[in-house]
Structure 1
């Protein structure tokens, strides 16, 4: 089996080199399935150029109607397949490598569709996790990627009326506490899904599925952006009786960065 080439965006330190919630979904998937791969690190300003060079499809459109190229992208030399976007990549990995652990266990496609609708509705309604994490995610980038993020991505996708430095609110401010109240309410609600499953993961038992990976990718983004020893990360880990700390502990075995 040839190594899959996995395209990712680097953070500026070795400890936080892998940081993006979008690409962590693919990294977790590859590690969970035990599929050999290597990471090709590409700075933000080079993503479109690299995607066009290798033939990766755009995943969206910019407000001006131009194609939007994003990571993750994989190139699988074994099948000469180049694929964009984390969910199609996960589906491809299950189909192409059926003898490895399943990201989508049999009979769970409807469950995963319902999960996507419920989870992303929560994120769209209260962008407070984004507010708390955005500045750390931005400043974790290399200088070149950070400048691109601020000048391009931020203006295209986010709230231009509020400087990124002000989204979270200062320590002890009402703005920051309001963000945290909303995050706590959201993640306690998500925790009820796990309570109903009766296991560590959403389908019950001790083996994650792709929905668990989606949640872990958002949480690892927060951890990498704040820092593992930060008070913000410790606060998130302690939520819901420590549920999310235990959850992320279970994902440590899938966090190799190669």
Structure 2
């Protein structure tokens, strides 16, 4: 009989390692909390059908009432309950894992509100200038079946590559966000903090959200994007990467 574990659903690519930032946030937590888990790979074209089959809750509902299904999703079979727990939405999953498996907390006491604001900033503001750069590159490393899925959705779903000048302008906007965040995190420097992690001392959910974006850059644009980012702000982002390295295993 197989051992109980947590199943994490992720999307495959033609590169060796996974790339999706929201899914990496969950993988970081599973590794950090040392929870036994495995990855199931689902092509984009199969996500909705697969999630409906396992009765995963929709991620959201559109204005027209249509339910939206997206990853990450987990199935938790570790708990001795009558049926597995199935969850979607990265923040819902993070909260569930913290409450259900409180050892090695990702939300130190009293930090939930501030970390939630930090993660919202990372997702909605910090990472936004990366979209016109990385989305077209991400599309290129998807399996052909997934690329065909997006081509079939609509012409607008096919990302457009930036020209050289447009790309440099986009990277300048990205650097502005990195520079701003570096100034904020530097407030943790000094005798009471190292200035690298968001909460000042140990890695937390906020750092996993940020490092998930770094992984996206490194996996999708190693020779251009990551080569730039790793030099910015006195190599601060490489140091954060190294702090999170122990939690990057893929099972």
TM-score (norm 1): 0.86
Which of 99, 114, 118 is equivalent to 1:115? 118
1:119 CA displacement? 3.1
- Which residue is 2:7 aligned to? 5
Residues 45-93 of structure 1 deviation map (CA, whole Å, 9 limit, x = unaligned): 1111111111111112346431110011000113320010111111111
- Which residue is 2:204 aligned to? 209
CA RMSD of aligned residues (A): 2.0
Change (3 A) 1:107 1:114: same
Cα pair 1:193 1:202 within 8 Å, conserved: no
- Which residue is 1:56 aligned to? 56
- Which residue is 1:31 aligned to? 31
Residues 109-143 of structure 1 deviation map (CA, whole Å, 9 limit, x = unaligned): 1112321343345248xx32111111221111111
Aligned mates of 2:58, 2:184 — CA distance in 1 = 33
Cα pair 2:56 2:88 within 8 Å, conserved: yes
1:231 CA displacement? 2.8
Aligned mates of 2:7, 2:124 — CA distance in 1 = 32
Which of 220, 231, 236 is equivalent to 2:224? 231
Which of 86, 90, 115 is equivalent to 1:82? 86
- Which residue is 1:192 aligned to? 183
Cα pair 2:188 2:200 within 8 Å, conserved: yes
Aligned mates of 1:123, 1:84 — CA distance in 2 = 23
Which of 163, 167, 175 is equivalent to 1:169? 163
- Where in structure 1 are there 5+ consecutive unaligned residues? none
SS state at 2:231 partner: helix
Cα pair 1:31 1:254 within 8 Å, conserved: yes
Aligned mates of 1:149, 1:192 — CA distance in 2 = 38
Matches within 5 A, 1:128-167: 128-152=129-153, 160=156, 164-166=159-161
Aligned mates of 1:112, 1:60 — CA distance in 2 = 22
- Which residue is 1:249 aligned to? 242
Aligned mates of 1:4, 1:121 — CA distance in 2 = 28
- Which residue is 1:93 aligned to? 97
Aligned mates of 1:29, 1:59 — CA distance in 2 = 20
Aligned residue pairs: how many? 240
Change (3 A) 1:120 1:232: closer
TM-score (norm 2): 0.88
- Where in structure 2 are there 5+ consecutive unaligned residues? none
Question: Do residues 70 (structure 1) and 74 (structure 2) align?
Answer: no
SS state at 1:25 partner: helix
